[in-house]
Amino acid sequence: MRITDIFLSIPYLLFIIVVLTVFSQLTIPGLAALNARILLMILAFIIVWWPTYARIVRGQVLVVREQKYVEAARASGAGRGRLLLRHILPNSMYPVFIQMSLDVGTVPILIGSLSFLGFNLFGIPFTQVFPEWGSLAAYSIQNFTGILGSCAVGTCIVPWWQIFFPGIMLFLFAISVNFFADGLRDALDPRLRR
């Protein structure tokens, strides 16, 4: 678990930015530049978040293996494989589902906020608008300030919807993923099936 402590000490946002910056010119044969960039971003997220899952699973396995039903199965002669696959792992996965739901809701918000702040995550030239919620909001802010700067005294129509809809879609996505994961946990939890 010392390796996980080392990985957990690295600030994840800074690590993702450094990885994407250092390896931005990486070309993978057979993949377009955008696909290689997205693959690199996925790998950066995996490297950053695997220690969290490792700690959760380890802690749950340590708790579950001391439960009475595991002791009873061990006393009745169940082998290590049966104990692990039938009793320990199924009862250790629910905190992982909860953490996964939080991360699935967090990743688009993190990518959107980095795009909004101006980090070129996808390698798209800044003259083009990439259809991603954070870059759409950043483009709308540029449009918004341009309109406000050119308004004369009098009425000025401000396109509030350009800022509102990308933000509300990020919010609704994160909430819906969390509700879905909560329902999935309720459906799969053996304690709630009774």
Does residue 61 contact residue 87 with C-beta atoms inside 8 Å?
no
Mean pLDDT of the chain: 80
What's the whole-model pTM score? 0.72
Instruction: Find the range with the poorest average confidence among 87-96, 121-130, 145-154, 185-194.
Output: 121-130
Task: Return the pLDDT at 146.
Answer: 66
pLDDT > 90 fraction of the chain, expressed in percent and rounded: 13
Per-residue pLDDT reduced to its tens digit, 130-151: 677 777 777 777 777 666 666 6
d(CA 141, CA 160): 10
Q: Could you give the C-alpha distances from 159 to 124, 156, 186, in angstroms and in order? A: 25, 10, 42
Task: Return the pLDDT at 170.
Answer: 86
Q: Could you tell me the residue ranges of all domains in the chain?
A: 1-92, 107-194
Q: Which residue has the higher pLDDT, 90 or 136?
A: 90
Q: What is the mean pLDDT of residues 30-36?
A: 73
C-alpha 118: how far from its chain's center?
A: 19
Q: What is the mean pLDDT of residues 91-117?
A: 82
Cβ partners under 8 Å of residue 55, min gap 6: 1, 4, 8
Does residue 48 contact residue 87 with C-beta atoms inside 8 Å?
no
Task: Return the pLDDT at 145.
Answer: 66
